């Protein structure tokens, strides 16, 4: 019956309009359009179109085509299992192009069904403004530490150009701007960007917005990136169990890594069927913990949170989400999460 249901739906799907046929694929993207606004020539301009597999079947991204050489697409992960995340990274080529630019990225998905999703990119690249370097890159920063980077901002033009403000939605960033140096046809600033010590752990992907007195370019953006590294990390996180049958026992391993030797004191979970073997009471930098989960009897998604307590003084606790799906098999429970290019 499983094959009959799926293939019948595929047959019906061939008669659907193209827009309906790709609707299931579009649902996996958080957004399908991005405007970089005003960017300086040579500045790093990247945007990640995040994609999450919402379905039981594996999703495979065959390729991504671009309508303009001003944008370069990159696939971070071509095959996504249930609940796995990936991204299409769109990079605006600010060194080779200037002026208003726009492009369409065509994401081609060939499994479990064929679909095309269209992502749009736009932005205005200014040749008269230059950042050196073209991105505030802090690299890896230990949690609690302060990091700084200096950026040279140069404007080449005739107007009395001025930066009147520097803004950011990230409260963990602060900026010190020097007085402008003015020459004939040239204005330059030194900008010190600081990541404060209270920044939380995780990947930093943000931007600074420079507000100017130029009506042609009221704002110009500068990307900020880096990674605040906690003293304790858990991998993989989240822990994805994939598709299970009712009552099936799935065993995985998580790796707990610290910057200094530590002990695991306690492991708890809000999922009754989850068991973790606590390692021996030995202080070391890396602990491997076997995790066993018994799938519920009821079909559908299940999830829980695993909490590990250590003896570290700074950030002694780490959490990990555990996710899986119970998939009922048999003639009375046959179900296709994706059929004919649509979600049932």
pLDDT score for 225: 92
Q: Is 215 in a helix, a strand, or coil?
A: coil
**Is there a common fold for 133-229 and 232-326?**
yes
Confidence band, pLDDT 50/70/90 cuts, at residue 31: very high
What fold characterizes domain 232-326?
A: Immunoglobulin-like (2.60.40)
For strands 99-111 and 59-66, give the pairing.
antiparallel
pLDDT score for 14: 36
Q: How far apart are CA 173 and CA 191, in angstroms?
A: 13
pLDDT score for 15: 38
Q: Is the peptide bond before 252 cis (omega within 30 degrees of 0)?
A: no
Q: What is the mean pLDDT of the chain?
A: 85
Q: How far apart are CA 122 and CA 193, in angstroms?
A: 27
Residue 151, Cβ density class (10 Å: 0-12 exposed, 13-18 middle, ≥19 buried): buried
CB 73 within 8 A of CB 86: no
Which one of 2-6, 209-213, 215-219, 239-243 scores highest in mean pLDDT?
Answer: 209-213
Q: b/e per residue, 2-11, with b = 16+ CB within 10 A?
A: eeeebeebee
C-alpha closest to that of 329 among 259, 247, 241: 247
Q: How far apart are CA 46 and CA 209, in angstroms?
A: 15
Question: Per-residue pLDDT averaged across 34-63, rounded?
Answer: 91
Q: b/e per residue, 153-184, with b = 16+ CB within 10 A?
A: bebebeeebebeebebeeeebebebeeeeeee
Q: Hey, where are the domains in the chain?
A: 2-127, 133-229, 232-326
20 vs 100, higher pLDDT? 100
Q: Which CATH number fits domain 133-229: 1.25.40.10, 2.60.40.1220, 2.60.40.10, 3.90.1300.10?
A: 2.60.40.10
* Percent of the chain whose pLDDT exceeds 90: 49
DSSP structural state of residue 165: E
CA distances from 341 to 26, 32, 255, 344 (A): 10, 18, 38, 10
Q: Is the pLDDT of residue 275 over 60?
A: yes
Residue 257, Cβ density class (10 Å: 0-12 exposed, 13-18 middle, ≥19 buried): middle
pLDDT score for 216: 85
pTM over 0.85? The answer is no
For strands 33-41 and 317-326, give the pairing.
unpaired
Q: Is the pLDDT of residue 296 over 80?
A: yes
87 HSE (CA, 13 A, CB side): 9
CATH of span 2-127: 2.60.40.10
Residue 213: CB atoms within 10 A of its CB come to 12
Question: Which tens digit of pLDDT belongs to each residue from 12-22?
Answer: 333 344 444 57
pLDDT score for 273: 86
């Amino acid at each position: 019956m499983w094959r009959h249901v799926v293939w019948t739906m595929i047959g019906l799907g061939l008669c659907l309009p193209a827009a309906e046929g790709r609707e299931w694929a579009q649902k996996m993207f958080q957004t399908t359009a991005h405007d970089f606004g005003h960017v300086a020539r040579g500045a790093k301009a990247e945007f990640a179109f995040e994609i999450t597999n919402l379905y039981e079947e594996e999703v495979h991204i065959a390729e991504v085509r671009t309508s303009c050489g001003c944008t370069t697409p990159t696939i971070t992960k071509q095959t996504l299992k249930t609940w796995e995340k990936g991204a299409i990274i769109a990079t605006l080529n600010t060194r080779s192009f200037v002026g208003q630019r726009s492009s369409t990225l065509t994401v081609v998905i060939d499994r479990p069904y064929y679909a095309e999703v269209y992502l749009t990119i736009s932005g205005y690249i200014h040749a008269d403004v230059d950042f050196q370097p073209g991105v505030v890159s802090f690299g890896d920063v230990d949690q609690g530490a302060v990091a700084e980077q200096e950026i040279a901002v140069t404007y080449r033009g005739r107007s009395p150009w001025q930066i009147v403000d520097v803004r950011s939605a990230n409260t963990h960033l602060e900026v010190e701007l020097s007085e402008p140096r003015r020459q004939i046809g040239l204005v330059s600033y030194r900008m010190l960007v600081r990541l404060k010590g209270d920044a939380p752990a995780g990947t930093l992907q943000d931007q600074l917005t420079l507000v100017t007195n130029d009506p042609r370019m009221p704002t110009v953006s500068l990307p900020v990136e880096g990674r605040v590294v906690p003293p304790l990390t858990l991998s993989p996180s989240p822990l994805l169990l994939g598709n299970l049958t009712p009552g099936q026992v799935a065993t995985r391993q998580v790796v707990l890594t610290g910057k200094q030797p530590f002990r695991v004191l306690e492991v708890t979970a809000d999922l009754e069927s989850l068991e973790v073997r606590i390692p021996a009471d030995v202080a070391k930098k890396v602990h491997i913990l076997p995790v066993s989960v018994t799938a519920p009897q009821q079909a559908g998604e299940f999830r829980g949170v695993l909490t590990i307590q250590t003896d570290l003084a700074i950030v002694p606790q780490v959490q990990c989400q555990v996710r899986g799906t119970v998939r009922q098999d048999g003639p009375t429970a046959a179900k296709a999460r994706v059929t004919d290019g649509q979600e049932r």
